[in-house]
Chain A
């Protein structure tokens, strides 16, 4: 009996996000049109699609930065679309990286990283700093600990934004076009950090236009168009054998 329970628990905890009939309407028609899918632990899901396809809205719905019009999002078994639920507690487990970094300009890099663990996880100040320094070393920015965000390049800022989110020890990381605001020569350093993260087994959902990166790192690619998941599968399947006309023409345009 105990074996069965563990097995059940395992399959249940295996699923990180269960998304059911997710709709979002900004008042001009559906941006997300009944999206249903499941995200499992350890998956690296790259979401691609033309601009306006709803991919950013989809990603931002997963931590309720966009409040869905209808549908349900289950995160680790809890329905986070339930208004009675304390979303802040769940957001602590969902790291997010933005296109425009959104570092806090009035704090040092170290403070940017330790603020949330200290205030929300009640981590000891020293402990949080040690944790942050560890991450800074991993991304090669330990010497910037006392710098302010305005003193960093775009690539450096985005690397900090990633490790700032990691300091909360999240179960999943959401990336909303993390390299779109970067100068081309800085894209590589950010992708490198993300590649490491994926190799370390982090569950990741990434909205990006970096198709090379998608092919290399994704365990699964989702093609969104007009608020629907049009195709969903391995990178080989989507990039080498696209089935739908829409994906074929999308790939033809960008590759």
Chain B
């Protein structure tokens, strides 16, 4: 027990080393949150373009661009995308590392969100669309008021899962020298030459975050399911 306490003190208390974890966690949450927002915006946009093309045959060129986007992003590892974003695209631009990470993860996540949302749109019964249009709603209004809320509900678990994956995926931020939670723990390890304490601590923090997110999603799902009681 004394050994455990001594190790705990050495890794987290001495030299305020816990601050590596706190700051790292802050970066992880910042990158995840903004990447998620970007991913949702991109994902919904792409999903709407793709399903509009599927349903009406309109938006041929935007649809083509979307298909390329989906193919490239889903066909390459997110770590490679992050490295390219940092060392190639923003190589000569003075852009902060968090912003580079947000852009890279957001663009990556958008591709997965797009396919999730599109499957949700397609899962809504065609009669819903006809009912909306027959009342006089435009295509966009029908999407907004009638199709999207139902699609969103149908895909919520898959969407939540995507953001849990995103949270964990940001652990590669260290590769561009951005100190996220994982890198923070790793820095402690390199200072104290003890791997167990800092890495287990990092793992537990991720686990707690994921469990918290999952619980929130279950709550939201419950509220959205009200209409199915």
Tell me, yes or no, whether B27 is within 8 Å of chain A by CB.
no
State the CA gap A151–B229 with chains docked (Å).
7
Q: Are B135 and A91 in contact (CB under 8 A)?
A: yes
Q: Contacts of B131 on A, CB cut-off 8 Å?
A: 96, 98, 102-104
State the CA gap A116–B145 with chains docked (Å).
10
Q: Which of B137, B227, B228 has the most chain A CB within a 10 Å cutoff?
A: B227
Q: Are A106 and B135 in contact (CB under 8 A)?
A: no
Q: Are A116 and B229 in contact (CB under 8 A)?
A: no
Tell me, yes or no, whether A22 is within 8 Å of chain B by CB.
no
Q: Which of A63, A105, A151, A168 has the most chain B CB within a 10 Å cutoff?
A: A105
Closest residue of chain A to B127 (Cβ to Cβ) is A102
Q: Contacts of B73 on A, CB cut-off 8 Å?
A: none
Q: Which of B109-147 contact A (CB under 8 A)?
A: 125, 127-128, 130-131, 133-138, 141, 145-146
Closest residue of chain A to B129 (Cβ to Cβ) is A102
Closest residue of chain B to A108 (Cβ to Cβ) is B227
State the CA gap A119–B137 with chains docked (Å).
9
Q: Which of B41-96 contact A (CB under 8 A)?
A: none
Q: Are A119 and B229 in contact (CB under 8 A)?
A: no
Tell me, yes or no, whether B153 is within 8 Å of chain A by CB.
yes
Q: Contacts of B222 on A, CB cut-off 8 Å?
A: none
Q: Contacts of B128 on A, CB cut-off 8 Å?
A: 102, 104
Q: Are A106 and B136 in contact (CB under 8 A)?
A: no
Known: A65-B130, A98-B130, A106-B149. A120 touches B229 (CB 8 A): no
Q: Are B229 and A150 in contact (CB under 8 A)?
A: yes
Tell me, yes or no, whether B14 is within 8 Å of chain A by CB.
no
Q: 1/0 per position for A5-47, CB-CB distance to B under 8 A?
A: 0000000000000000000000000000000000000000000
Minimum CB–CB distance from A22 to chain B (whole Å) comes to: 18
Tell me, yes or no, whether A78 is within 8 Å of chain B by CB.
no
Closest residue of chain B to A115 (Cβ to Cβ) is B145
Q: Which of A63, A103, A104 has the most chain B CB within a 10 Å cutoff?
A: A104
Q: Are B226 and A148 in contact (CB under 8 A)?
A: yes
Minimum CB–CB distance from B154 to chain A (whole Å) comes to: 10
Question: Of B130, B136, B153, B229, which one neighbours A88 at CB under 8 angstroms?
Answer: B136
State the CA gap A151–B134 with chains docked (Å).
24
State the CA gap A148–B138 with chains docked (Å).
24
Closest residue of chain B to A167 (Cβ to Cβ) is B135
State the CA gap A116–B153 with chains docked (Å).
22
Closest residue of chain B to A165 (Cβ to Cβ) is B135
Minimum CB–CB distance from A111 to chain B (whole Å) comes to: 10
Minimum CB–CB distance from A123 to chain B (whole Å) comes to: 13
Q: Contacts of A63 on B, CB cut-off 8 Å?
A: 134
Q: Are B135 and A150 in contact (CB under 8 A)?
A: no
Q: Are A96 and B134 in contact (CB under 8 A)?
A: yes
Q: 1/0 per position for A145-165, CB-CB distance to B under 8 A?
A: 000111100000000000011
Q: Are B136 and A148 in contact (CB under 8 A)?
A: no
State the CA gap A89–B137 with chains docked (Å).
9
Tell me, yes or no, whether A100 is within 8 Å of chain B by CB.
yes
Tell me, yes or no, whether B108 is within 8 Å of chain A by CB.
no
Tell me, yes or no, whether B150 is within 8 Å of chain A by CB.
yes
Tell me, yes or no, whether A92 is within 8 Å of chain B by CB.
yes
Closest residue of chain B to A97 (Cβ to Cβ) is B134
Question: Of B136, B224, B226, B228, which one neighbours A89 at CB under 8 angstroms?
Answer: B136
State the CA gap A133–B57 with chains docked (Å).
40
State the CA gap A60–B141 with chains docked (Å).
20
Q: Contacts of B135 on A, CB cut-off 8 Å?
A: 91-92, 115-116, 120, 164-165, 168
Q: A95-B134, A105-B150, A168-B135 are in contact. List 6 more A-B contacts (CB 8 A).
A: A89-B136, A92-B135, A92-B136, A96-B130, A115-B135, A116-B135
